[in-house]
């Protein structure tokens, strides 16, 4: 039976209250949500996504005031980030309370929390008596969904309900910052720039390493990947190496003799981020053997885009930086 797709918060609430899964829209990507305080409900997320149990989940809340019930030792830096950058694409890692099941945090003593910037999902969170654990609503490791249709194509026969909130306006996952340690550390680049964080709390560490045992979501080497090989580098040089049976994902330049999607004709990094995952999906569905891509300017949202391209190209591809 296929999922129902609707914008009814009431229907979504009823499914979640019954311990079922619901796909929810956020400003970043669509999430696959369950009651974060119900371990049995959360197990369904891992089963549906085929997600490894060592990969922790993000907990979504309706307001900063709800964090104290989920986490302890909330630092001044974390408070400042919540006050200034929430709602928004920023996940903050804190020491967890016992109310959070270990399956949500993969057995760790920390939990990632965020307040999404999407009116429909905030309305949903305010109607519930519990926060929502919600990774991206896609099979594990594949391209994240930025529309209800994307979710339906991948998980529509596995979940009962998709809350349709339109196209995601940012298009890459949240930035994750660990504030459980004395020096805050960015664990995953995303929709909030490192520069915006540093303006508020000063210098932070940026974790440049992936891991097979992640402290936060999206830290694995291979992630956000199409099924076809994706190779990142100088497109002109890559064309000499890989021949003609390719499609091209470029930042702003056109390649007229090839199947080519430009992320932003004007070179706008925000537009490029918004279009990234949808463009990867389209190229993954065409008849070419390989996707050739290039990095974008490496500042602001560009750092998050480049991070996703690196992870998408990890399997069986060479990255020419």
pLDDT of residue 317: 42
Q: Token digits for 194?
A: 């490192």
Residues of the chain with CATH 3.40.50.11030: 230-312
Is pLDDT at 128 greater than 80 in this prediction?
A: yes
Domain with CATH 3.90.870.10 in the chain: 4-206
Residues 155 and 200 sit within 8 Å (Cβ to Cβ): no
Task: Please determine, for residue 77, whether its predicted confidence score (pLDDT) is greater than 70.
Answer: yes
pLDDT at 315: 53
Share of the chain above pLDDT 70, in %: 92
pLDDT single digits (tens) 250-294: 999 999 999 999 999 999 999 999 999 999 999 999 999 999 999
Question: For the whole prediction, is pTM greater than 0.85?
Answer: yes
Span 164-188, pLDDT tens digits: 999 999 999 999 999 998 999 999 9
pLDDT at 54: 72
Q: What pLDDT sits at residue 198? A: 97
Mean pLDDT, residues 69-96 taken together:
97
CA–CA separation, 158 and 204 (whole Å) = 40
- Kindly report, residue by residue over 134-157, the tens digit of the pLDDT: 999 999 888 999 999 999 999 999
pLDDT mean over 5-19: 98
Q: Return d(Cα 181, Cα 185) in angstroms, integer.
A: 8
Secondary structure (H, E, C), 32-54? EEEECCCHHHHHHHHHHHCCCCC
Task: Estimate to the nearest angstrom the gap between the alpha carbon of 263 and the chain centroid.
Answer: 18
Work out the average pLDDT over 13-30: 98
> Check: CATH 3.40.50.2300 for 230-312?
no
Task: Find the distance separating the first CA and the last CA of the chain, reported in whole Å.
Answer: 46
Predicted confidence at residue 254, as pLDDT, reads: 96
Q: For position 244, what pLDDT does the model report?
A: 85
Q: How confident is the model at residue 225 (pLDDT cuts 50, 70, 90)?
A: confident
Q: What is the pLDDT of residue 57?
A: 95
- pLDDT value of position 44: 95
The mean pLDDT value of the chain amounts to: 92
Residue range 4-206, CATH number: 3.90.870.10
| pLDDT for the residue 223 | 59
155: Cα separation from own chain's centroid: 16
């Amino acid at each position: 039976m296929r999922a129902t797709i609707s914008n009814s918060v009431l229907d979504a609430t009823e499914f979640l209250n019954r311990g079922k899964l619901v796909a929810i829209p956020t400003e970043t990507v669509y999430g696959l949500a369950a009651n974060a305080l119900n371990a049995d409900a959360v197990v369904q997320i891992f089963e549906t996504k085929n997600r490894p149990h060592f990969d922790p989940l993000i907990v979504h809340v309706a307001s900063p005031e709800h964090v104290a019930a989920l986490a302890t030792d909330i630092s001044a830096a974390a408070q400042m980030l919540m006050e200034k950058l929430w709602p928004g694409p920023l996940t903050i890692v804190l020491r967890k309370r016992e109310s959070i099941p270990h399956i949500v945090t993969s057995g760790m003593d920390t939990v990632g929390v965020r307040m999404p910037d999407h009116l429909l999902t905030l309305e949903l969170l305010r109607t519930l008596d519990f926060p929502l654990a919600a990774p991206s609503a896609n099979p594990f490791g594949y391209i994240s969904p930025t529309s209800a249709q994307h979710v339906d194509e991948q998980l529509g026969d596995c979940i009962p309900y998709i809350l349709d909130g339109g196209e995601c306006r940012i298009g890459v996952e949240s930035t994750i910052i660990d504030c459980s340690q004395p020096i805050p550390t960015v664990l995953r680049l995303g929709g909030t720039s490192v520069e915006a964080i540093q303006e508020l709390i000063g210098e932070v560490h940026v974790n440049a390493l992936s891991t097979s045992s992640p402290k936060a979501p999206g830290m694995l080497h291979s992630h956000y990947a199409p099924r076809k090989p994706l190779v990142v580098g100088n497109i002109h040089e890559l064309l000499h190496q890989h021949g003609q049976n390719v499609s091209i994902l470029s930042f702003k330049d056109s390649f007229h003799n090839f199947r080519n999607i430009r992320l932003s004709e004007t070179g706008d990094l925000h537009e490029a981020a918004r279009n990234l995952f949808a463009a990867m999906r389209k190229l993954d569905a065409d008849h070419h053997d390989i996707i050739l891509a290039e990095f974008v300017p490496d500042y602001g949202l560009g750092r998050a885009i480049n991070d996703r391209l690196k992870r998408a190209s990890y399997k069986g591809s060479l990255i020419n930086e």
